[in-house]
Amino acid sequence: MNETMLVDINLEINRKNMEDIFGLPDNFDFIIRDFEIGFDNGKVSGFAAFYDGLVNQTYINRDIMRGLIQNKGEIPKNDNLSDFIFKRLITLAPLTKETKIDKIIEKLTFGHCLIFVDGCDCCFAADVKGWGNRGVEQPVREASLSGPQEGFNEVIMNNLALIRKILKDPNLIAENIKVGTKSNTPCALLYIDGITNKKLVAEVRRRLNLIETEYIFSSSDIEMLIETKTFFPITRTLKTERPDRAASMLAEGKVVVIVQGSPFVLVLPTTAVDLIEASEDNYVRVPEANFMKIVRLLGLGISVLLPGVFVAVMLYHQEILPADLLLAIEATREVVPFPLVVELVLMELAFELIKEASVRVPSPVGSTIGIIGGLILGQAAVDANIVSPILIIIVSIAGLGTFASPSVELSRSLALTRFVFIVFGGVAGMLGIVCAYFIGVSFLASSMTYNVPFLSPITPKNGTSTVDAVLVKPIWKKERRPKNLKTQQPVRQPHISRKWMEK
């Protein structure tokens, strides 16, 4: 199809073009509905084209066809027929005039009804979307006991409305960027004008506009297409299904990208501090939030280091264990036929297999798989002398630490990193663990995400202490936005926000 092709003034030519472009008569869900506009001094023919299932036919019959068919008066003179139809006969809004064929194809595939009238060199595109969609439901992956219970769905306008309902800021800008040369998937680039760094907005906009691919299906596709290093071991893009969290990130000066068809929005840029923050931290008292966060950090550290440290100690540093404990562990392992590293890797793979199986099967069966895998298979493996009981304890504790992660993407990254520490611990003991740790930290410290250091504000220092960056502060102490974002308004509230405390 020629992209510069225009709507013809002849109705039959337009009809032939529509039939050729949309594959009639093979394409059974593409509907062409003929009609006649009655005037006192004659009639004018026309037709409506739409996809059955993408439109609400009640709107077409009530707000489009009724006005066209029941018209009274004379045919407008001086070539004003298109203006007459646009302003008086079609009562539905929003309604636009389109002259380019590629534009009307984009409109039609996104739930519009196209009205062609003989003698008009344009097409009337009426927004009558009517496809089925999921309502606003509770978040699944980021559940909160104390916070709001609304989550994003797959409709971009609903998600945008949920964020606007929270922020209520006229400076919240939502730019429409279509990605995908064939799918033309709508993406909304959100930021607060006057707060967000303009260079950050320009960079995200540039990356979205320079994506050259045919189809986009989800926000994960956008994430991989705009990130710098796809094979980075830890995710550097926060995906959230909570409107309140997306709104709070916008208020800090970040950018949010909403993709049509995905219930998860992207928050850019994302640092390590963002990944370890849970939505529950903002809805409980500060001591409780900090206690939960410390427990969460300990769990994450244990999930990564514990299996590797256990291998290093048992193979190279047995002298640091009490003699009774060492003898008890060795007694349980003397009948196991596999080396320790092989045994631990097999147990970790079995744990990951059980976790994947419980996610893929329906919910009522998922709990059953967990019980079978954790109890029956584990106990049977011990009785068959395939694995030792101590390894089941180590793998279980490491697995619990992984589940303490506030995001699924981070937990998967940590599970992958755990195998690296097992290999290094098995090769060089504690020296290997230390080397793997410093290599990983150095790699993270040198990485950037949209010109923001991934480990900021922990490193490099920007005036914020590590304790203040990691722990939760009371809302009255959150006076400034993160310095690493270089926002236009660094101060978000006065030094004394609780004015009732002033004398």
pLDDT band at residue 390 under the 50/70/90 scheme: confident
pLDDT of the residue at 209: 93
Structure tokens at 141: 């992956």
Q: Which of 19-33, 53-67, 285-299, 349-363 has the lowest mean pLDDT?
A: 349-363
pLDDT digits (tens, 9 = 90+) for 73-125: 777 776 678 888 888 777 777 888 999 998 898 889 888 999 999 988 899 99
Instruction: Flag whether pLDDT at 3 surpasses 60.
Output: no
Three-state SS letters, 241-282: CCHHHHHHHHHHCCEEEEECCCCCEEEECCCHHHHCCCHHHH
pLDDT of the residue at 232: 73
pLDDT of the residue at 124: 92
Q: Which strands, in side-by-side order, build the sheet including 112-117?
A: 30-39, 42-51, 112-117, 123-127, 95-98
Structure tokens at 358: 């419980």
Q: Is the separation of the CB atoms in 254 and 267 below 8 Å?
A: yes
pTM for the model: 0.85
Helix (H) or strand (E) segment spanning residue 51: strand 42-51
pLDDT of the residue at 356: 77
Q: Which residue has the tokens 């002033």?
A: 502
Q: Is the separation of the CB atoms in 302 and 398 below 8 Å?
A: yes
Q: Which of 170-179, 205-214, 215-224, 333-342 has the lowest mean pLDDT?
A: 333-342
pLDDT digits (tens, 9 = 90+) for 193-249: 999 999 999 999 999 999 999 999 999 999 999 988 777 778 888 899 999 999 999
Instruction: Flag whether pLDDT at 444 surpasses 90.
Output: no
What would you measure as the largest C-alpha separation in the chain, in angstroms? 107
User: What's the DSSP call for residue 114?
Assistant: E
> For the chain, what are the domain ranges?
11-127, 156-270, 285-449
CA–CA dist 167, 182 (Å, integer): 34
Q: At 477, give phi and psi (nearest 5°).
A: -100, 0
pLDDT top residue among 139 and 366 = 139
Three-state SS letters, 416-469: HHHHHHHHHHHHHHHHHHHHHHHHHHHHHHCCEECCEECCCCCCCCCCCCHHHH
The SS3 assignment for 404 reads coil
pLDDT of the residue at 445: 87
pLDDT of the residue at 364: 58
Average pLDDT over residues 5-28: 90
Structure tokens at 503: 């004398």
pLDDT of the residue at 79: 60
Q: Share the mean pLDDT of the chain.
A: 86
Q: At 42, give phi and psi (nearest 5°).
A: 150, -175
Q: Is the separation of the CB atoms in 312 and 490 below 8 Å?
A: no
pLDDT of the residue at 46: 92
Q: Which residue has the tokens 């636009």?
A: 96
- Residues whose CB is less than 8 angstroms from the CB of residue 161 and which lie 6 or more positions away in sequence, other chains included: none
